[in-house]
Amino acid sequence: MQQAIDLAHKGIVSGAGGPFGALVVREGRVIATGSNRVTSSNDPTAHAEVVAIRAACAVLGHFQLQGCDLYTTCEPCPMCLGAIYWARPDRVFYACTRHDAAQAGFDDQFIYDEINIKLSVRRIPFIPQMRPEALYLFDTWRNKTDKTPY
């Protein structure tokens, strides 16, 4: 965790992005690291956890992190939490909490709140369109015999 903290600190000082660091460990060895670089890379998804997960998957040549642990300097936001569940590491170690982050101006709680309300009343409007025309995509997927499930 100290390495993740040091990464976060370097990221702030260098101007890479926000005060967050993360890394992925496998069999006692750090296989990938990340720090927030949203503003420096013009990528709103470049949170430390996402950067570290993508890098670890690139190293392993696989889209799953079974057998790995993720260390992050802060409790993940909903986006990173989703990324973690799709990547499926064994465990997540975190240092600061979402409340610590909120006090520093990172309002993950707003997103947590929006997730739990109806799509029709969300702050960003979610508008249904052309469901009947799109449903065949799932049939195509179901019927595909050579697919890679994930």
Catalytic residues: 49
Q: Which of 27, 139 has the CB closer to a second copy?
A: 139
Closest Cα to residue 31, out of 84, 89, 94?
Answer: 89
Question: Is 121 a residue that touches a second copy (CB under 8 A)?
Answer: no
* Residue 31 C-beta: closest distance to a second copy, Å: 14
93 vs 87: CA distance, rounded Å = 15
User: Which of positions 3-62 make contact with a second copy (CB under 8 A)?
Assistant: 5, 8-9, 12-13, 15, 17-20, 38-39, 41-45, 50, 53-54, 57-58, 60-62
Under 8 Å CB-to-CB from 35, ≥6 apart: which residues? Answer: 7, 8, 10, 11, 16, 17, 20, 21, 22, 48, 51
Asked if 49 contacts 22 with a C-beta cutoff of 8 angstroms, the reply is yes
* Residue 113 C-beta: closest distance to a second copy, Å: 10
Q: Which of 19, 33 has the CB closer to a second copy?
A: 19
* Residue 117 C-beta: closest distance to a second copy, Å: 11
Size of the site for a second copy (CB under 8 A): 89
131 vs 121: CA distance, rounded Å = 20
Question: Is 66 a residue that touches a second copy (CB under 8 A)?
Answer: no
Question: Is 80 a residue that touches a second copy (CB under 8 A)?
Answer: yes
Closest Cα to residue 62, out of 93, 26, 36, 111?
Answer: 26
Single out the residue of 14, 66, 67, 97 in contact with a second copy (rule: CB under 8 A): 97
